[in-house]
Each structure stands twice: as C-alpha cells, then as structure tokens.
Amino acid sequence: MCGRYVSTSTPEDLVQLFDVNRWDPSETLEPDWNVAPTKPVWAVLERPVRHQGPEAVRQLRALRWGLVPSWAKDPSIGSRQINARAETVHEKPAYRKAFASRRCLLPADGFYEWQTLPAPPGGKARKQPYFIAPEGEGQLMAMAGLYEFWRDSTRADDDPLAWWTTCTIITTDATDAAGRIHPRMPLTIAPDAIDEWLDPEHKDPGRLRSLLTPPGAGHLLVRPVSTAVNSATSNGPQLIEEVEAPTP
C-alpha cells in the first residue's frame, strides 16, 4: 500500500508542470514531508466549471486523502480507502464509477514504506521506514488517483462543508527495489499519457489500466530514514534524510 508520501511542490510549479487552466490562489497547502491519510493533498483533474459550459477544464484542487464513495452513510470509511488496487479498481463498487470518469493525478516527491525486521532473541520485531523515490534529482511522481464527491446530508445546501471531495491512490504489486521493502507500491502516469488519463470522456477500462506505470519507470532509489516519520505529527525535510541501515 501507499500510506504516507512526500509532496513539497508549490501550487505555482504544479500549475505550470501539468498545464493547469484553473486554480484558486486562495487555496494553498504547505510543503509536506509526511502526508498522511485524511490530510488535504494536491490533485490535478479535469471536469467542467460551473457556469462556463460543458467542456472539461484542467484544475488544481486540494482534496481529502481517503476516498468516500457517494453512497457511503459514514465518511469515516475514507480512512480505509486510501488505496485502490489496480487489479480490481475497475470493478470494485467503491471505485468503479470514479475509475470510469473521475481520474486524477496526485503529485509526489516520493513515498514511504515500512519493512518488518525479525525480532532479536528475546526482543520484539520492529518496522524500519524507507523513503522511495525515482532516480534522478527532483523527479516528480504523478501518482494515479481517483476522486469522488460525498454529500453530508446533515448540513444545509448552502453550507460550504456540505460536500466532501476525496481521493485515493491506485497501487500494484511492488517490483525491484520497492518490492524488497513492501509488497505494494503506488502507480503513476507517464507525461505522454496524462491527457488521456485525465480525460473524463475516456471510458475504455482496458486502455486506461494500460496507462498505469511504475514510478520512475521502475528505477527507484530506496533509503532508510528516521522512525520519526512513524508519527503523523512529524514533519520537515529531515524525515527523508538517510540514516544508517538497520541490521536484521
């Protein structure tokens, strides 16, 4: 799975990088070296803008990480819907409608995974966090995601909190370096496939699934990092600094 990641790009950089046509400058997020479920995250998506006609517009928006299906009675389900498996995303009730027409990109510098280390004699097993990112300085991952709308029926129509917009990350079996740490990893969309992936009119599930690719085309750097990242309240660039590799 992908349960934590790093996102430090400014919205101005993301607007330029992904050819975004619409972004509200009043909507800002701080650089985050420990993005955790239920946090707001940047997403690039395409959908019509109210009062501007039916044509889809590429937008940069802050969404809540943890997809809440439109039919959910309780939004707490979102904390368990942070990842969608690529193998079944097109058919699972929680994701199939979003996969058909509400696909997005979730920009990331890299992601964290934890490796369970054998317990020493008389001791307890522990988990070592690793930071995983594409090879090459400054390469950004365009993680493949889905988004959904959920209406809070307890709030009035004019309440700005009446609607939630939430998202999830599509994952697959991990390979290469990432596979030595954890069995799952996020999938990404290559630059030349972004237009096709974001197009809400594109409905061919087979073709869409073929656009999903491993981050960094499978060329990943993996380094052990401080267990400080275990706490969702920890933040800062020190979290991705390499530490001495643990001895099994």
Q: Which of 12, 55, 91, 113 is catalytic?
A: 113
**Which run of H or E residues covers position 184?**
strand 184-186
Question: For tokens 């009730």, what's the residue?
Answer: 93
The answer to whether 224 touches 130, Cβ cutoff 8 Å, is: yes
Task: Select which of 2, 46, 104, 167 is catalytic.
Answer: 2
Any idea what the Cα angle at residue 86 is, between residues 215 and 240, rounded to 5°? 35
- Is residue 167 flagged as an active site residue? no
Rg over CA atoms, the chain: 18
Q: State both tokens at 49.
A: 């803008």
Strands 163-173 and 56-65: parallel
Distances (CA, A) of 212 to 46, 139, 238: 18, 18, 31
The question of whether 104 is a catalytic residue gets the answer no
- Active-site residue set: 2, 113
